Structure 1
Amino acid sequence: MAYLPYVEPALSIILPLSTFIVLLNLARNILDHALYCGLIGEIIIGILFGLPTSGTLLLSQPIQETVQCLGYLGLVGLVFEGGLTTDLGLLRKTIWTTLAAGAVGILAPMILSLSLLGMQFPISEGEKGKYSTPLAAFSASVALCSTSLGSTFIILTSANMQKTPVGTLIAGAAMIDDVLVLVMVKIVIALGQDQSDVWTIVRPAVSSLGLILVAVLMALFIIRPLWHAICSIFAIDRGDTTPLEDEIDAGKGISRHTGFLLSTLMLIVLVTLAAYVEGSVLLAAFLAGAVVRYTWQENEDMLVDYPTRMFEEYYKPIMDYVFIPFFFASIGFSIPISGMFVSSVAWKGLLYSILMFIAKGVVGVVLYFDYFTEKWTLNGKRKLPKPTDHEQQISQHGSPGPVDHSLKPRVPKAPHLDAIIVGSTMIARGGFGFLVASEAQSSGALALKSKSAGEHRAPAPRDGIHTLDVVEDQIFLVIIWALVLCTIAGPIVSGFAVRRKLAGKKCECGIAQGGFGEDIACHLCL
């Protein structure tokens, strides 16, 4: 019988790994307090400890692969938290604005990525440079259409904006963009490998839509009735003497421990189902959180938010200090930093980065739709009819009673700061963008010239390490430039905007005021 004997790890393994974990948390805490973008520090530490910079000197390849796997667990948990804390009522109210934001987040990068068609990439000294193919430009746009869900939820959590209209809009738009990118990346791979099977291309879209439908139907007709049946059996009569709020949801008889087991079971079921049907695992995690909240927290006005408290007790400690730092560090592992500073690539990468920064930044413009609609409606109400003779007589001899100023319509406030927060939060691309770029590169979709029949890029080696060809992979490096700079610059801008908003607001503890522009929490609530 085979078994793995226990062997004491060598100091050469323990010391770099412990240093890696400590530096990740130290860098995150420093930048979180300064700019609300601690993830930047984690990415930088990942670059320094990863293969592109230090090779396997500090962390061996198996350890780096383990960090990637654990980091992806952190991403799944982070998206699960996003669904668990999303106010479904607010999501319904802002659904059209959310859809508009998602559409802008897809269309703008696609349009601006056409600029790659005009960039000439040198092949050799004696040969004329090549231009990007339409497939390569489309592949680049798909990679840059993604939004970093990890960065998004980290920013929203650090600013306590998860349950605000702006936070709900950002989370919904980011999820929409990533689901559409999941579909489009399959198209990129199929075209790069000269596949023509329609089902292979459309299967991710059908799977994701089916997953949403299954989750909704299960929540309405199976999970919630079953939950009520269980609660009716185990419900506890608390009385007036036993304070059980800290441990037990007295109205349902479900403790946080039981809630943790049931919630985790729901997460495992939906994620497994999504992976089996080739749908989005991250979408499944978000749906699992939303289903748990819909089932457990029926009344959003309840004094105790049991789903959130359960998550903070069981998930958050290990996620905050291990899994999430590992996720952002694994992004740093995937950045080929040494090949990015070739002169023919660097300026194109900077230019494309600026365009992609603008492409996602304009998503914040959708907030002005509601603002102008409300303003035009208010201007219409101000056009009062001409007063009658009786009203004129009253105005000349004095009003018979006091004027009710409470009926005066509220003048809408321009959502400039909220628009900056929405746009800058959507700018960060994160691990999903790197994954899409790598898939496109491996399939041959980023080639500078069209492939002849039957010609494909050499498959990746079995050890999982890709060797970069600076000439052949120039478009890939330009995409990496945009992914890196957007992932760094977006949270920094968002952090400044959030800090500016926090400085100008009194504590409202994250409670929405009914419209965009009036939802934020104070420093004490963070």
Structure 2
Amino acid sequence: MWSSFTYHEPSIPALLILSSWIYLLNLFGWISQHLLSAQLLGQILIGIIFGTPLAGWLEESWQDAFVAVGYVGLLLIVFEGGLSSSFANVVALLPLSMCIAVTGILTPIGLSFILIPLAGFSPLHAFAAGAALSSTSLGTSLSVLNPASLGFDLRQTKLGTALLSAAVMDDVVAFVLASILGTIGEGSGTGGSSIGKGVGRTIGVTIGLGVIVIPITRYFLRPLYARLQTSRKWRDAGWGGQPMLIGLMACGFIAMIAASGYAGTSPLYGAYVAGLACAYLSDSVEAIPSVDEVELVKTTECRENTDLGLRRFNTLPAPSTIRQRTPVSYPSSLDSTIVTPAGINPTLRSSFEHYLTPLLHYLLVPIFFGSIGYCIPFVPLWRGPVIWRGIIYALLMVLGKILCGIWLMFWPSGSGNARASGQDGGRGGSSWKGAIFLGSAMVARGEIGLLISQIAYNTPDPLLTEDEFLIVNWGIILATIGGPVGVGWIVKRFGKGIMDGGWS
């Protein structure tokens, strides 16, 4: 007997539900973006309505599939964040990012011990709650950094780089904490040694992957990419150009996800490192002229002087010849268009924007946030004692992440503009707007917080009771709502002024 899946035509109700699901995710995302500057809120709401919490129109198998598809979207979001970053800024701001990340981890865990007198948590259960709220949602952080949401690209600035790097570090630590909670919840006698091995393995793999990728990218991939940028053969071939660059990025993307996941750290970290490697390649060859410019420089125009019988050779094109080129537009999203001059070689960034950005923003990202929606235990949340304790806990958790921005007030920005504006030593003394922005962008917990809380609740020896689990979810939900809304208000109020103090 052949082993195969039997193809059958989907039913009309299934087709109507799936098509309306995809459309309404985009529609409500657009509405919430214009009203609240946070498109993910509308998409999470549609997930709650269509999924198990309320209507239950999505079958369980569909919800499992959408979680997997949405997670692919999250990985691509993180990869795009690394690709859009400035590699030089990431290296220069690594100490600052570490300070922000440590603050964003320890402060929520410390504040969670207030739950001991507030809601009768045990110390271990309070630690489990703090571990869930110590994370930062990478998907939400990158969503609020989207140029279409902000009106300008913050990802390559010092402020955006510090935010994104700190969020990635929080994710890696959250992965460690999830492993620790799972081991404790198993209740095995070898818990101490298992925790030590798990923590050591994750830290070693995280550092090791970064160390290994640097020489490979610098000494092998950069010369190869530079050669591609100066060769016309690869661009004009049917298999070359942007499709080939997409294939190369896909190979690096998949390889890093597999390496990080199987080795023992977060796949999101692997996606970010792969994006940073591609950003380094793009930055390292930006000064290389395009194929057409090289040919124009080498082209010789022969002009014969009839009077003197001499020939004049012009080895350089006229400036107007280079400047006057017809732009070619590549649609990327409703609010942004990439314009690439004709004759300029496609780059890794332009290839991603041209091919993957529309798919990411109109399909994968809405599905990701919609899948978060139906993972929220919506109906049980509405119990009197759970509500008020959850709200108080959420306020504490918002405060715990906003405090991350304090570092921006005292850290040297290294900008001459900052010194010129009267700040001693180039310090970001007037960067309080950026500090509030960074703290607000770190507030959302999203997918990582839900994952850790469900691990703590569903272990054989539960680390959270039902009411405790619901209180923690109140903190996660309100933080995930409040973070993007706060970022949207700050951007509307201050605009590019959030980068005051040399954080541009």
Q: Give me the TM-score of the superposition, normalised by structure 2.
A: 0.80
Match of 2:355 among 314, 338, 345: 314
Match of 2:431 among 382, 407, 415: 415
- Conserved 8 A contact 1:135-1:446: no
- Conserved 8 A contact 1:207-1:277: yes
Q: Which residue of 1 aligns with 2:176?
A: 183
- In structure 2, give the amino acid aligned to 1:292: C
Decide whether aligned partners of structure 1 residues 513 and 117 sit closer, same or farther in structure 2, where only a CA change above 3 A counts: closer
In structure 2, distance between residues paired with 1:382 and 1:220: 37
Matched, 1:236 2:232: yes
Deviation at 1:475, TM superposition (A): 1.1
Gaps of 5+ in 2: 289-339
In structure 1, distance between residues paired with 2:402 and 2:208: 31
In structure 2, distance between residues paired with 1:249 and 1:498: 43
Q: CA RMSD in A?
A: 3.0
Q: Which residue of 2 aligns with 1:123?
A: none
- In structure 1, give the amino acid aligned to 2:221: I
Deviations 1:49-73 (A, max 9, x none): 1102123xx1111111111111001
Match of 2:474 among 468, 471, 481: 481
Deviations 1:135-170 (A, max 9, x none): 211111111111111111111012221111111111
Deviation at 1:363, TM superposition (A): 0.9
SS in 1 for 2:442: helix
- Conserved 8 A contact 1:447-1:473: no
Deviation at 1:373, TM superposition (A): 9.5
Match of 1:501 among 479, 491, 494: 494
- Conserved 8 A contact 1:102-1:177: yes
Matched, 1:267 2:253: yes
SS in 1 for 2:160: helix
Decide whether aligned partners of structure 1 residues 378 and 445 sit closer, same or farther in structure 2, where only a CA change above 3 A counts: farther
In structure 2, distance between residues paired with 1:119 and 1:264: 49
Q: Which residue of 1 aligns with 2:42?
A: 41
Deviations 1:320-371 (A, max 9, x none): 1111101111111111011111122111111110000000011111110136
Deviations 1:162-195 (A, max 9, x none): 1111111110110011111111211111122232
Decide whether aligned partners of structure 1 residues 300 and 136 sit closer, same or farther in structure 2, where only a CA change above 3 A counts: farther
- In structure 2, give the amino acid aligned to 1:267: F
- In structure 2, give the amino acid aligned to 1:485: L
Decide whether aligned partners of structure 1 residues 91 and 339 sit closer, same or farther in structure 2, where only a CA change above 3 A counts: same
Decide whether aligned partners of structure 1 residues 163 and 138 sit closer, same or farther in structure 2, where only a CA change above 3 A counts: same
Match of 2:215 among 211, 214, 217: 217
- Once the two structures are overlaid, the 10-residue window that deviates more, 64-73 or 33-42, is 33-42
Q: Which residue of 2 aligns with 1:256?
A: 242
Q: Which residue of 1 aligns with 2:95?
A: 96
In structure 2, distance between residues paired with 1:358 and 1:8: 52
- In structure 2, give the amino acid aligned to 1:415: S
- Conserved 8 A contact 1:350-1:482: yes
- Conserved 8 A contact 2:431-2:500: no
Decide whether aligned partners of structure 1 residues 286 and 106 sit closer, same or farther in structure 2, where only a CA change above 3 A counts: same
In structure 2, distance between residues paired with 1:299 and 1:225: 9
Q: Give me the TM-score of the superposition, normalised by structure 1.
A: 0.77
Match of 1:429 among 427, 441, 445: 445
- In structure 2, give the amino acid aligned to 1:24: L
Match of 1:143 among 127, 132, 141: 132
In structure 2, distance between residues paired with 1:105 and 1:81: 23
Decide whether aligned partners of structure 1 residues 2 and 372 sit closer, same or farther in structure 2, where only a CA change above 3 A counts: closer
Gaps of 5+ in 1: 121-130, 238-246, 384-408, 449-471, 506-511, 520-526
Q: Which residue of 1 aligns with 2:155?
A: 162
Matched, 1:346 2:387: yes
In structure 1, distance between residues paired with 2:443 and 2:263: 30
Q: Which residue of 2 aligns with 1:401?
A: none
SS in 2 for 1:350: helix
- Conserved 8 A contact 2:430-2:500: no
Deviation at 1:378, TM superposition (A): 5.9
- Conserved 8 A contact 2:137-2:447: yes
Equivalent residues in 2 for 1:450-461, closer than 5 Å:
none
Matched, 1:358 2:351: no
In structure 1, distance between residues paired with 2:240 and 2:116: 59
Deviation at 1:211, TM superposition (A): 1.9
In structure 2, distance between residues paired with 1:169 and 1:301: 26
Deviation at 1:514, TM superposition (A): 8.6
Q: Which residue of 1 aligns with 2:22?
A: 21
Match of 1:297 among 277, 283, 303: 283
In structure 1, distance between residues paired with 2:472 and 2:97: 27
In structure 2, distance between residues paired with 1:261 and 1:373: 38
Deviation at 1:410, TM superposition (A): 8.9
Deviation at 1:11, TM superposition (A): 0.9
Deviation at 1:214, TM superposition (A): 2.2
- Conserved 8 A contact 1:189-1:445: no
- In structure 1, give the amino acid aligned to 2:389: K
SS in 2 for 1:54: coil
Match of 1:440 among 442, 445, 456: 456
- Conserved 8 A contact 2:116-2:123: yes
SS in 2 for 1:268: helix
- Conserved 8 A contact 2:428-2:500: no
Deviation at 1:422, TM superposition (A): 0.5
Aligned positions, number: 436
- In structure 2, give the amino acid aligned to 1:142: A
- Conserved 8 A contact 1:371-1:415: no
SS in 2 for 1:111: helix
Deviations 1:98-127 (A, max 9, x none): 22111111111111011112134xxxxxxx
- Conserved 8 A contact 2:414-2:427: no
Q: Which residue of 2 aligns with 1:80?
A: 79
In structure 1, distance between residues paired with 2:488 and 2:199: 38
- Conserved 8 A contact 1:135-1:445: no
- Conserved 8 A contact 1:147-1:177: yes
Q: Which residue of 1 aligns with 2:55?
A: 54
Deviation at 1:249, TM superposition (A): 11
- In structure 2, give the amino acid aligned to 1:494: V
Q: Which residue of 2 aligns with 1:286?
A: 272
Deviation at 1:29, TM superposition (A): 1.0
Decide whether aligned partners of structure 1 residues 504 and 117 sit closer, same or farther in structure 2, where only a CA change above 3 A counts: closer
Q: Which residue of 2 aligns with 1:12?
A: 13
SS in 2 for 1:320: helix
- Conserved 8 A contact 2:434-2:500: no
Deviation at 1:201, TM superposition (A): 4.2
In structure 1, distance between residues paired with 2:118 and 2:286: 52
Q: Which residue of 2 aligns with 1:460?
A: none
- In structure 2, give the amino acid aligned to 1:515: G
In structure 2, distance between residues paired with 1:372 and 1:359: 24
In structure 2, distance between residues paired with 1:349 and 1:189: 24
- Once the two structures are overlaid, the 10-residue window that deviates more, 328-337 or 132-141, is 132-141
- Once the two structures are overlaid, the 10-residue window that deviates more, 1-10 or 334-343, is 1-10
